[in-house]
Amino acid sequence: MAKVVLKNVYKSYGEVKAIRGVNLSCEEGQLLALLGPSGAGKTTTLKLIAGLEKCDGGEIFLNDRNVNEVSPFERNVAMTFENYALYPHFTVFENLAFPLRSPRRRHIYSEKDVRKKVEEIATLLGIHQLLDRRPTQLSGGQRQRVSLGRMLVTNPDVFLMDEPIAHLDAKLRYFLTGEIKKLQKRLGVTTIYTTHDYMEALAIGDRVAVINTGKVLQVGSPDEIFNRPNTEFIGKLIGDPPMNVLECEIVKKEKNYFLKIGELIHPLSARMAEKLLQEVKDGKSRVGIRPTDMQVSREKIPGYPEMEVYVSEPLGDKEILTLKKGNVSIQAKIKAGLESKVGEHLWVKFDFKRLHFFDRETGNRIHLDVEYLVL
């Protein structure tokens, strides 16, 4: 097992700056989910750790040892690829045995050892009955298990999993996320797992690192990433439907503060408004409201705004409403049962404590520490 640390790492492919000063660490035995959209630099990061690519700048450490000049073999790191990279003309057994029969390891493992090790891993992954098949005779989920098995046979110190379940159907993905998490905890091997799916990242990661355009934007627990996104980009990346983010202004009428979002005027606690005004002098910022963080009611909520139902999408146990007021459009995700009609007016109340504010220019979170404020 090993601790992985990246310090100010850079990597370009010709003109393309794939990785631009990445700092990242994954503690021993931890599962770090690297979350980012396509092209963010996830695969490149893993290849740099595995030693399949060399960095242009910065340092990579495995257990406090700088491995910049260490060969992939000596790093004892194993990587699975998005497309599984199985040898089609080999059986499952031969695919699993391949790393053990490589010129580097041939002298370590006798054929008897190879058989023993392959059988042990196949049993662990529940693919023992598939050992004589070829990859084309396997389902996507089975191929994925073989690919995981090939990573496990050499007892690596670090697992690097590159979007391991991205190509599988939703139900199987859900199942395999749980399986991989259990397996990783059981083996206790330091793991970096990439995905473009925020649900997968939050579900599987002990910690989550958000990456975009070759830079790590935030590292935190799944809870921190969801509840305290550092930037508007991260706020919108996570959640379905995504966070509503709107231009807003704090206004004061007599003694009371309000949040003005276009024609929408919503009460705001004085403590929160004053704190926000300390941070943004003109009171203008961007407010982030998750679709789940509001109350929507047919009964009048005195003092709170009314909005018109523009679209209503039933989702079984949930309902997604697109609500409008003038030019302002907000999505709400509520429990099914309201059975709202398009054109109907409903009252809306945001959950103060769960509002996010972002700087209009930089998109950075404005920290209000509202959990410590009495609203």
Phi, psi for 248 (deg, rounded to 5): -145, 165
**Left, alpha or beta for 313 (phi > 0: left; psi -120 to 50: alpha)?**
beta
Give the HSE-up count for residue 36: Cα atoms under 13 Å, Cβ half-sphere: 26
Q: Does 40 bind ligand ADP (CB under 6 A)?
A: yes
Q: Does 44 bind Mg ion (CB under 5 A)?
A: no
For residues 52 and 320, which CB has a smaller minimum distance to ligand ADP in the complex? 52
Site string for ligand ADP, 150-189 (x = CB under 6 A): ----------------------------------------
- Work out what residue 244 binds among ligand ADP, Mg ion, none; the CB cut-off runs from 5 to 8 Å by kind: none
Taking 3-state DSSP, the helix, strand and coil percentages for the chain, each rounded to the nearest 5, stand at 30, 35, 35
HEC string of 245-272 equals EEEEEEEEECCEEEEEECCEEEEECHHH
Site string for ligand ADP, 8-27 (x = CB under 6 A): -----x--x-x---------
What single-letter amino acid sits at 305?
P
Pick from 42, 75, 145, 275: which binds ligand ADP (CB under 6 A)? 42
For residues 35 and 307, which CB has a smaller minimum distance to ligand ADP in the complex? 35
Q: Which stretch binds ligand ADP (CB under 6 A): 41-49, 136-144, 349-357, 366-374?
A: 41-49
Give the strands of the sheet with 345-350, arranged side by side.
294-297, 345-350, 306-315, 318-325, 328-335
Question: Are β-strands 77-80 and 158-162 bridged in parallel, bridged antiparallel, or unpaired?
Answer: parallel
Pick from 30, 43, 285, 322: which binds Mg ion (CB under 5 A)? 43
149, 90 contact by CB (below 8 A): no
Pick from 44, 177, 244, 331: which binds ligand ADP (CB under 6 A)? 44
* Closest distance to Mg ion from the beta carbon of 298 (Å): 46
Nearest partner of 185 among 164, 205, 209, judged by Cα: 205
- For residues 339-358, which are near ligand ADP according to CB under 6 A? none
Q: Does 38 bind ligand ADP (CB under 6 A)?
A: yes
For residues 109 and 193, which CB has a smaller minimum distance to ligand ADP in the complex? 193
Structure tokens at 272: 């929160």
Q: Does 30 bind Mg ion (CB under 5 A)?
A: no
Site string for ligand ADP, 241-280 (x = CB under 6 A): ----------------------------------------
For residues 17 and 318, which CB has a smaller minimum distance to ligand ADP in the complex? 17
Number of H helices, E strands in the chain: 10, 20
Q: What is the DSSP string of 204-248?
A: H-SEEEEEETTEEEEEE-HHHHHHS-SBHHHHHHSSSSPPEEEEE
Interface with ligand ADP (CB under 6 A), residue total 11
Positive or negative CA dihedral for 221, 227, 228, 234? positive
Interface positions with ligand ADP (CB under 6 A): 13, 16, 18, 36, 38-44
Interface positions with Mg ion (CB under 5 A): 42-43
